[in-house]
A and B are shown apart, each in its own frame.
Chain A
């Protein structure tokens, strides 16, 4: 039989590595970590297997969001260097497979969460998936520069879901954790969008630097870092955590605000000269990891 050249890889069954790539594993790691911290910071620790299943469901829910986001944005991803090699824009799989995979993961994660933990956690997981896909990806992202501000709520759900999976109810601390991620998201994403704004402009996505300009975005980054810092120290100020968390949150947030002030002071417009923005973006990831790790450490040290 003569060898046939693979001119249309999308006609083949998708490779499992491409299915995995659809779930955005790197984004999933932060979601899993914050969900795990929400679960471990809760006053009631569930049996190990139920805790593991809750985190697995949060991870699968995040994977579903990633797959459905890539299904919907395949055309936009093809226009951006950063995303052009994803399975759909690169033509390695067909869109319908991505849609089925994403919807399947979403249903599976919500039902398993309800069966293993409680149905309030399952409802919150379903709301977070629907919020990310319908409110953020489909509605806000292509329409308004405030997409990240409101859409940030989707990424703020995991610690709340982790807490509710452990306790079965919502209380003040997980709502503050929600607020921290909600207020952290704009400065985090705007720092990134400043030095990749040409990509967003080429794809026609109205990110703040594209619509309002670089100086305005720098001002917004700094302004958002202030309430974010206040939300970060609030759990300690309200007596919901111990001094370990309070001191650490204050120090970590102080550095965040200083780096945001450096971004505000930067006058460069060329991405190559945006060292301050790149530093803030890298630190913002470390900041969230460190803040939530300290929260769990504080909970277990003072227990």
Chain B
């Protein structure tokens, strides 16, 4: 395998995982905010 190909493959793979994780984090923060707000009602 070419070195450049492997670097690009790993970078793409990590970027995809990071994007999913960031998306999940945003959703989690949204639900945390809702739950904390309800606790203070």
Contact = CB atoms under 8 A, between A and B. Distances in A.
A6 B10 contact: no
A6 B6 contact: yes
A4 interface: yes
B1 interface: yes
B40 to A, nearest CB: 12
Interface of A is mostly: loop
Most buried by A among B11, B17, B31, B39: B31
A15 interface: yes
B13 A16 contact: yes
B6 A12 contact: yes
Given A12-B7, A15-B10, A16-B13, A3 B32 contact: no
Nearest to B16: A16
B3 interface: yes
Interface string A1-22: 1011010000011111000000
A53 B39 CA distance: 16
Contact of A49 (B10, B17, B32): B32
A47 B38 contact: yes
A116 interface: yes
B10 A116 contact: no
A16 B2 contact: no
Contacts of B35: 47, 49-50
Interface in B1-41: 1-4, 6-7, 10-11, 13-14, 17, 28, 31-32, 34-36, 38-39
A214 B41 CA distance: 61
Given A12-B10, A13-B14, 11 more contacts: A4-B4, A12-B7, A16-B14, A16-B17, A47-B38, A49-B28, A50-B32, A50-B35, A53-B28, A53-B32, A56-B28
Interface of A: 1, 3-4, 6, 12-16, 47, 49-50, 53, 56, 115-116
27 contacts: A1-B4, A3-B1, A4-B3, A6-B3, A6-B6, A12-B3, A12-B7, A12-B10, A13-B7, A13-B10, A14-B10, A15-B10, A15-B13, A16-B13, A16-B17, A47-B35, A47-B38, A49-B28, A49-B31, A49-B32, A49-B34, A49-B35, A50-B32, A50-B36, A53-B28, A53-B32, A116-B32
